[in-house]
Amino acid sequence: MTFRIRKYIFLFLILSSVISPSDAQNKLVFDLQLVDSNSVIPSKYTIPEHVPDSLSGLKVLNDLIIQLQSDGFLLASADSIELRNNTFHSRVFVGNRYQWKRIKIMDLEGNPKYEINNRRWAKNTSSKSLFLKTLQQSNNHGYPFAFVTLDSVIISSGIIDGMATLNPGPLIAFDTLLIAPINKSRTKYLSKYLRILPGKPYNEKAVKQIPDNMKLIPYYRLISPVGMVIHNNNALINFEIEKSALIDWME
């Protein structure tokens, strides 16, 4: 994987320091060999014949690995790197190309919640984005402690079939909005405006939008970070405000 490349950076810094100034001015031949002889690198990738220096060669190699993994070659990695005779020698493992058949996320009762169910080239980000979408939906509908567990993965002939379970955790509701200095009328108004309503399911999106939404109100300024305390399945949102310069001028 790409993290295997990082351990070579320090080595290249040392190698670069022992190259004479005249050698440093010459381009390095970029030699790329495949570990698995049965694999090929798709023609759409541009592999340079030369690189300006070893660090440039390292970047080219790292970018190549990332591109391969993004196109379904999930096991692509750099096997070895060597700088010798003005040549950047690298060996790359490409591996097989994988496709998702399905990624299904079930609830605790076994009912499907979210699903990718079409043939597409597998990417490292495919399952991650689906899991994040699932968690965001849960966090915005009263379940800030939801988590997803991957239960099974079946790989057959380059086809991936995955099954996961969504554990929502406890249902959390908003408590009364706590704003300092305390003013009941102002709290009631801001509670409706910010969509932080007592008894309503917790909504992470609404909480994150408080600073931006407060900037749209000309009468008050937010002067503290937005805090939250969860107790007995209730989320108490708190922050501090002050009158704006406009109110001071009007008064």
Give first-to-last CA distance, the chain, whole Å. 64
CB atoms within 10 A of CB 105: 23
Contact predicate 57/18, CB 8 Å:
no
Look at residue 18 in the predicted model and tell me its pLDDT.
Answer: 41
The pLDDT-based confidence of 25 (bands split at 50, 70, 90) is low
When pLDDT is averaged across residues 31-37 and rounded to a whole number, the result is 86
When pLDDT is averaged across residues 22-51 and rounded to a whole number, the result is 79
The pLDDT-based confidence of 251 (bands split at 50, 70, 90) is very low
Q: What percent of the chain has pLDDT over 90?
A: 27
Kindly list the structural domains of the chain, giving each domain's residue range(s) and its CATH number in brackets, ordered by start. 3-93 (3.10.20), 99-167 (3.10.20), 173-250 (3.10.20.310)
Residue with the bigger pLDDT between 102 and 17: it is 102
Residue 192 confidence (pLDDT) above 50: yes
Contact predicate 193/161, CB 8 Å:
no
Look at residue 224 in the predicted model and tell me its pLDDT.
Answer: 93
The pLDDT-based confidence of 39 (bands split at 50, 70, 90) is confident
Structure tokens at 150: 């991957």
Cα 53 from Cα 29, distance rounded (Å): 9
Q: pLDDT by residue (tens digit) across 161-170?
A: 888 888 889 9
Contact predicate 160/154, CB 8 Å:
yes
Cis amide prior to 42 (ω within 30 degrees) = no
Look at residue 250 in the predicted model and tell me its pLDDT.
Answer: 41
Q: pLDDT by residue (tens digit) across 46-105?
A: 889 998 888 888 888 888 888 888 787 878 888 888 888 899 998 999 888 887 777 788
- DSSP symbols for 4-27: HHHTTHHHHHHHHHTS-HHHHTSP
Look at residue 30 in the predicted model and tell me its pLDDT.
Answer: 92
The letter for the amino acid at 58 is L
